[in-house]
């Protein structure tokens, strides 16, 4: 499904700010895998996502998705089949456009329609249906500008937009971290439902250790630009947070230092 | 009032207002929708007049209109290319193209600084023919048709997949990066479309005034911005078609103000300063309102404190 082999990325090479962000990183995801990623500050979690979605070109290594080598594919071309959510709920939607128009943008682009096609009545029905699944009453506010929605509503809408046409891969970069606990749970539940129902292959960065073990079928731990721990199957089942931290200590040779994890 | 502002004066104001409304609509696309201050507007407007004048003199006024639109969009393409592919700051890209266009415009006019097109047909004379009524009102009618058609075209266009993508590009760059929209493409299409409208406006003014001048476009961007801002502050930012009609209305209002100023014997040399002031005032109005509100709140609070202080004393 997704294969990353021997990925290297160094920022500001040759200067005093040199940062080896990814070092010989290898990852293989099977179809339908839902992996959570935890790691220390600056471990390269978001850089890994940027590498997969094509925000920059790799120094070396390759990215293969469903048998297609996308290492040198431009970012906007990859976005056709890779959905992505950020921590900041403001980043995924256009504030001055209505809910319907936001949905139309992703729907029209992803459904391979022509440049000049417009949203039809039956598409609008489909939007309503999808919005009602969020149970936030957004289906009755289709003409409201998205800027008026709360962070949680915007993030839920972004999730809908990213998965409206099922992506091959979904990248979630702490997408509930900026929301209040209740809304975060709601968005997380929506995520779980959508991902499970449509068997979307998914990577999710989180700083919540419980989430990391509960959600999905696989847990990855990162440190210094590499995956140091890859847990799945029996090994992962019934694992406690303390045990996980111990394992990390044994592998990385140090304690997990993520201030956000300690605070949560 | 009817004696003060005659029908003739108002008719001219409406005619000019409709022609300049096209530049305001162009800025609506680049400034309001794409969030780019396109400073090549002055140059591509003059390019429109030059191209239109040359074609009209050689007896092809209608072809001149379309060629002016084409050359306008070419200029928009260059501006877009500079700021997307070559990564030049958008304002600087506009200034560079504007500077370059000065020479291009001179070249189009055969290296003379003005062209006169008396004695040949223009689209206005072709439209009016021998009809007495159309000779009087034909210009207003023809321009209204053009402007209204374009308003409805833009309303339709900005609801299509491409149009929505262009709007998203200006509204949320972060969202565009994560979606499959190619900002290079959307910015290019947007600026081509916008500058085609600017070129169209220039081509109409050339045939309307029967002359083209190398300095005609100077300050055009400010004048158009004035119309745009007047329109948006009156009609609001709700429905797309209302915003577009608001821009047209703003342009008509602006021209009426100018007509009024002319009747009040304000010297024409002062117009650029007046429009500069209108734009600065209109754009800063929200901030000024905020500042006034803040100072009022502060004054009230201080007075309250003073009163309470006296009570305790």
B160 is written with which tokens? 């299509």
| pLDDT average, residue stretch A156-168 | 91
Q: Which of A70, A82, A105 to mutate to test the interface with B (most CBs of B within 10 A)?
A: A105
Residues A119-141 pLDDT 10s: 889 999 999 999 998 889 999 99
Give how far Cα A27 sits from Cα of A6, A64, A217, Å.
9, 11, 15
**Closest alpha carbon within chain A to B170:** A94
Prediction pTM value: 0.88
Q: In what order do the strands lie in the sheet with A218-223?
A: A82-85, A169-173, A201-205, A34-39, A218-223, A226-232
Q: Inter-chain contact A109–B180, Cβ cutoff 8 Å? A: yes
Q: What are the tens digits of pLDDT across the range B84-125?
A: 999 999 999 999 999 999 999 999 999 999 999 988 999 999
Q: Which residue intervals of B28-117 are DSSP H helices?
A: 41-57, 61-84, 90-108
Token pair 């959307």 is found at B186
Whether chain A has a CB inside 8 Å of the CB on B239: the answer is no
Confidence of residue A115 (pLDDT cuts 50, 70, 90): confident
- B161, B178, B237 member nearest A92 (Cβ): B178
The whole-number pLDDT of residue A262 equals 57
> Which pLDDT score is estimated for A259?
63
| Stronger pLDDT, B6 or B19, i.e. the higher one | B19
Give the dihedral of Cα atoms A216, A220, A225, A228; nearest 10 deg.
Answer: -170
What's the CA gap between B49 and B210, in Å, rounded? 10
Select, from the ranges A88-97, B1-10, B51-60, B117-126, the one with the highest average predicted confidence (pLDDT).
B51-60
Task: Return d(Cα A200, Cα A170) in angstroms, integer.
Answer: 7
pLDDT value of residue B223: 87
Question: What pLDDT is stored for residue B257 in this prediction?
Answer: 85
Q: How confident is the model at residue B1 (pLDDT cuts 50, 70, 90)?
A: very low
Q: Say what the pLDDT of residue B43 is.
A: 97
In this prediction, residue A142 carries a pLDDT of 93
Q: Which residues on neighbouring strands pair with residue A38, listed in sequence order?
A: A221
For residue B271, what pLDDT is reported?
79
Can you tell me whether residue B153 is helix, strand or coil? helix
Mean pLDDT of B128-136: 89
User: A91 vs B178: CB contact, 8 Å cut-off?
Assistant: yes
CA A203 to CA A173: how far, in whole Å? 8
ipTM of the complex: 0.87
| Residue B286: band (very low, low, confident or very high) from pLDDT cuts 50, 70, 90 | confident
The three-class DSSP label of residue B143 is helix
Is the CB of A95 less than 8 angstroms away from the CB of B167? no
- The neighbour count for residue B241, using CB atoms within 10 Å, is 14
Q: What is the mean pLDDT of residues A172-185?
A: 90
| Inter-chain CB proximity A90 and B168 less than 8 Å | no
Comparing CA positions, the residue from B123, B145, B139, B148 lying closest to residue B16 is B139
Q: What fold, for A2-252?
A: Rossmann fold (3.40.50)
Q: Return all residues near B213 (Cβ < 8 A) that are at least 6 apart.
A: B49, B113, B114
Contact state of B160 with A115 under an 8 Å Cβ cutoff: yes
C-beta atoms surrounding A80 within 10 Å: 16
Which residue from B24, B17, B15 is spatially nearest to B45, judged by alpha carbons? B24
Report pLDDT digits (tens) over B164-208. 999 999 999 888 877 888 999 999 999 999 999 999 999 999 999
Q: What is the mean pLDDT of residues B268-291?
A: 81
Supply the pLDDT for residue A264: 55
User: Which two three-digit tokens encode residue A162?
Assistant: 């990213």
Beta strands in chain A (DSSP E): 2-11, 19-29, 34-39, 60-65, 68-69, 82-85, 169-173, 201-205, 218-223, 226-232
Give Cα B222 to chain centroid, integer Å.
8
User: Is B2 a residue whose pLDDT tops 80?
Assistant: no
Nearest chain B residue (CA) to A113: B161
pLDDT above 90 covers a percentage of chain A that reads 59
Q: What mean pLDDT is reported for chain B?
A: 91
By CB atoms closer than 10 A (0-12, 13-18, 19+), residue A162 is: buried
pLDDT for B184 equals 94
Residue A263: band (very low, low, confident or very high) from pLDDT cuts 50, 70, 90: low
Task: For chain A, give every domain's residue range.
Answer: 2-252
Query: CB–CB of B53/B247 below 8 Å?
Result: no
* Beta strand pairing call for B114-116 and A82-85: unpaired
Q: Are B90 and B83 in contact (CB under 8 A)?
A: yes
Q: Within an 8 Å CB–CB cutoff, is residue B167 touching chain A?
A: yes
- The answer on pLDDT for A93 being more than 70 is yes
Q: Is B134 exposed, middle or buried (0-12, 13-18, 19+ CB in 10 A)?
A: middle
* pLDDT-above-70 percentage for chain A: 97
The residue in chain B having the minimum alpha-carbon distance to the alpha carbon of residue A49 is B178
Q: Does position A76 have pLDDT exceeding 70, yes or no? A: yes
Nearest-CA neighbor of B170 among B5, B29, B76, B265?
A: B29
């Amino acid at each position: 499904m997704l294969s990353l082999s021997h990925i290297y990325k160094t920022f500001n090479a040759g200067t005093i700010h040199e940062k080896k962000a990814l070092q010989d990183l290898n990852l293989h995801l099977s179809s339908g895998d839902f992996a959570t990623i935890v790691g220390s500050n600056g471990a390269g979690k978001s850089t890994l996502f940027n590498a997969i979605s094509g925000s920059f070109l790799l120094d070396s290594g390759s990215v293969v998705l469903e048998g297609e080598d996308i290492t040198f594919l431009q970012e906007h071309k990859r976005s056709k089949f890779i959905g992505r959510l950020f921590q900041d709920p403001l980043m995924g939607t256009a504030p001055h456009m209505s809910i319907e128009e936001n949905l139309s943008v992703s729907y029209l682009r992803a459904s391979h329609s022509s440049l000049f096609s417009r949203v039809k009545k039956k598409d609008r029905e489909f939007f309503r249906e999808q919005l009602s699944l969020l149970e936030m009453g957004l289906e009755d506010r289709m003409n409201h500008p998205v800027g008026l929605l709360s962070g949680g509503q915007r993030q839920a809408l972004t999730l809908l937009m990213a998965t409206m046409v099922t992506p091959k891969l979904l990248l979630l970069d702490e997408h509930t971290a900026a929301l209040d606990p209740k809304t975060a749970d709601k968005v997380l539940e929506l995520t779980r439902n959508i991902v499970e129902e449509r068997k979307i292959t998914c990577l999710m960065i989180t700083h919540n250790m419980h989430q990391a073990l509960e959600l999905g079928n696989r847990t990855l731990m990162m440190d210094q630009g590499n995956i140091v721990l890859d847990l799945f199957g029996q090994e992962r089942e019934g694992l406690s947070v303390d045990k996980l931290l111990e394992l990390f200590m044994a592998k990385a040779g140090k304690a997990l230092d993520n201030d956000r994890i300690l605070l949560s | 009032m009817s004696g003060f502002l005659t029908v003739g004066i108002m008719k001219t104001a409406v005619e000019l207002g409709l022609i300049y409304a096209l530049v305001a609509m162009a800025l609506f696309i680049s400034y309001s929708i794409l969030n780019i201050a396109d400073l090549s507007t002055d140059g591509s407007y003059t390019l429109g007049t030059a191209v239109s004048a040359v074609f009209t003199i050689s007896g092809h006024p209608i072809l001149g209109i379309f060629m002016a639109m084409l050359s306008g969009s070419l200029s928009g393409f260059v501006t877009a290319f500079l700021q997307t592919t070559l990564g030049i700051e958008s304002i600087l890209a506009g200034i560079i193209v504007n500077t370059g266009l000065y020479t291009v415009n001179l070249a189009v006019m055969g290296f003379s600084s003005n062209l006169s097109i008396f004695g040949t047909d223009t689209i206005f004379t072709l439209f009016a023919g021998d009809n007495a009524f159309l000779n009087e009102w034909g210009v207003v009618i023809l321009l209204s048709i053009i402007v209204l058609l374009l308003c409805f075209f833009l309303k339709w266009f900005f609801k299509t997949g491409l149009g929505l993508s262009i709007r998203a590009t200006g509204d949320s760059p972060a969202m565009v990066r994560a979606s499959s929209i190619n900002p290079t493409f959307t910015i290019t299409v947007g600026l081509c479309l916008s500058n085609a409208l600017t070129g169209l406006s220039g081509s109409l003014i050339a045939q309307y005034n029967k002359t083209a001048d190398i300095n005609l476009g100077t300050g055009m961007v400010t004048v158009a911005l004035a119309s745009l801002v007047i329109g948006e502050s009156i009609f609001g930012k709700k429905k797309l078609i209302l915003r577009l009609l608001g821009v047209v209305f703003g342009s008509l209002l602006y021209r009426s103000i100018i007509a009024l100023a002319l009747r009040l014997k304000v010297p024409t040399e002062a117009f650029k300063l007046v429009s500069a002031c209108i734009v600065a005032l209109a754009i800063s109005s929200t901030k000024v309102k905020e500042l006034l509100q803040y100072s009022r709140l502060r004054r009230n609070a201080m007075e309250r404190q003073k009163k309470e202080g006296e009570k305790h004393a």
